[in-house]
């Protein structure tokens, strides 16, 4: 039981490391969001809502989880 939890934590940590590296690289390349993300600047108020990014991430996660379930059933 403990070895399975440890293995899961290591895999999750490695995944977060890869994701963090990708986000860091995208930021260094000048990526500031997708078209459709909401930017609002007024005086001292700066609002950013990543609408298109959230929709794309939701779609990608839905497909990934569907494929995972589909492969587990086979």
1 and 20, same domain (yes or no): yes
Domains identified in the chain, total number:
2
Helix (H, G, I), strand (E, B) or coil at 53: helix
- CB-based burial of residue 37 (10 Å sphere; 0-12 exposed, 13-18 middle, 19+ buried)? middle
18 and 46, same domain (yes or no): no
54 and 74, same domain (yes or no): yes
Asked whether residue 21 carries a pLDDT value surpassing 90, the answer given is yes
Q: Is the pTM of this model over 0.85?
A: no
44 and 71, same domain (yes or no): yes
Using one digit for the tens of pLDDT, what is the confidence trace for 26-55? 889 988 888 889 999 999 999 999 999 899
Which residues, 6 or more positions from 40, have their beta carbon under 8 angstroms from its beta carbon? 46, 47, 48
């Amino acid at each position: 039981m403990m070895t399975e939890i440890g293995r899961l934590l290591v895999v999750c940590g490695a995944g977060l490391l890869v994701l963090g590296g990708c986000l860091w690289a995208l930021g260094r390349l000048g990526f500031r969001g997708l078209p459709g993300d909401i930017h609002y600047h007024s005086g001292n108020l700066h609002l950013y809502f990543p609408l298109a990014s959230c929709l794309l991430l939701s779609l990608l996660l839905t497909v990934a989880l569907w494929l995972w379930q589909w492969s587990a059933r086979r």
